[in-house]
Amino acid sequence: MSEVSSFHRRGWLQSMGAAAVGWSLVDQAVAQDQTPGNQVVDRASSIRITGLKTYWVGPIVYVKIETNYGIVGWGDLKGTDVRVGRVLVESLFELLEGENPTRIEHLWQKLFRAHRDIRGGAILIHAMAAIDIALWDIAGKLWNTPVYRLLGGPTRDRIRVYHTPQAVKVPPHGIYEHSGTPADIDRMVAAIRAAREKVGPTGAVMFDAHSAVPPATLIQLASALKPYDLLFIEEPGVPGNIEIFKRLKEKIDIPLATGERDRTIYEMIPYLHERCIDILQPDCCHTGGISQMKKIATLAEAYYVPLAPHCTATFLGIAASLHVVSAIPLFLIHEFYPENAGFNLPGVTRMPYELDAEGYIGLPPGPGLGVDVDEPRLIEEAKKPQTYKWPTMKLKDGSIADY
């Protein structure tokens, strides 16, 4: 065989091999394109968002998302000027209509990144939380399972809560000047002492400084609290300046907890990175809903910081938060006020629960959030005149105080 013929033969074989590889790659690409997991538009599912309704009752806006399957999801909006929050939720529906409600992370990012100038703002994140919770409710109902199973399944059998006979949180009983008097300190210490006597040596006592006790006064107070073995001091400082929390951590030996006024993973990072907080307290309705709270728990896990969620909400917000802590590894205790009529209007939302003798409740039911909503009654309540008034607090000299 001549050298020229040999060259042509090798070229032909190489071209045939390349063609075979090419067809193989095409076949693989087609196969991958037909794999359901790679069909990001979820063509196999025809469920779509078709409507949104809002009901303003007291400090809550109840949010209902409707679908073409007849499955609806509920969430609640709180912790903001609900007059503004309600309009924002209704405006955001423009970004949701016609979407598949089970693409929850995609829709969260769509809402969060939609407007560069209001991204991450408190009112936007609270509005997004209501929507996110409603979407998880839909997903759970669609697959007939509790939300916590969609989050990875249960990591515990029951959930420790407060207030109970075994766990009490003491409020600051007022706002305080920038340096406490002996009477101020004695009043707070007396309340904490009474709580410890109530729960006994095996119970838990927490003190909620509520950002109403300025740093200098809190340092004065903390030195008098050692005999009462607090589980934590909540909201020791006003969020926004991590240096304040670092200073408090240097001066106070009691575990510090905060997070109810911080939103999304981005505002939680400084506490963890600077090691100035022992417990994180995200509020599911304040920080962007179930999706974001689960991420916060994972972020905290990397620093071995447990969650003790803040939660003053209807059963919708309560259930959403309970589903998250049902599915995370590091959890301490959960705020639980099911009878708080100021937030949880009796009979409008219902979730079965039972408090055991040790201060625990069971995992939240399903499907979805496992919460029943009496919509006819909600409609009637929403017809009543609703008012909102901006809060304000002042010190003795008339200056504006934190609380």
Calculate what percentage of the chain has a pLDDT beyond 90. Answer: 85
Which of 37-51, 96-110, 245-259, 365-379 is predicted least confidently? Answer: 37-51
- In this model, does residue 272 exceed pLDDT 60? yes
Query: pLDDT class for 18, splitting at 50, 70, 90?
Result: very low
Q: Respond yes or no: is residue 163 known to be catalytic.
A: no
- In this model, does residue 144 exceed pLDDT 90? yes
pLDDT (0 to 100) of residue 2:
46
- pLDDT, mean of residues 37-65: 85
pLDDT (0 to 100) of residue 267:
97
Q: Which is higher by pLDDT, 16 or 213?
A: 213
Q: Which is higher by pLDDT, 17 or 329?
A: 329
- In this model, does residue 52 exceed pLDDT 80? yes
pLDDT (0 to 100) of residue 74:
98
What mean pLDDT is reported for the chain?
Answer: 91
Calculate what percentage of the chain has a pLDDT beyond 70. Answer: 89
Catalytic hit among 8, 163, 178, 210: 210
- pLDDT, mean of residues 184-206: 97
Q: What is the pLDDT of residues 85-122, one digit of tens each?
A: 999 999 999 999 999 999 999 999 999 999 999 999 99
Q: Respond yes or no: is residue 286 known to be catalytic.
A: no
Q: What is the pLDDT of residues 285-322, one digit of tens each?
A: 999 999 999 999 999 999 999 999 999 999 999 999 99
Q: Which of 310, 351, 382, 325 is closest to 64 using CA atoms? A: 382
Catalytic hit among 126, 310, 323, 334: 310
- In this model, does residue 13 exceed pLDDT 60? no
- In this model, does residue 129 exceed pLDDT 90? yes
- In this model, does residue 124 exceed pLDDT 80? yes
- pLDDT, mean of residues 209-227: 94
* Domains in the chain: ranges and CATH: 152-364 (3.20.20.120)
- pLDDT, mean of residues 220-239: 95
Query: pLDDT class for 180, splitting at 50, 70, 90?
Result: confident
pLDDT (0 to 100) of residue 33:
54
Task: State the Cα–Cα distance between residues 300 and 8, nearest whole angstrom.
Answer: 64
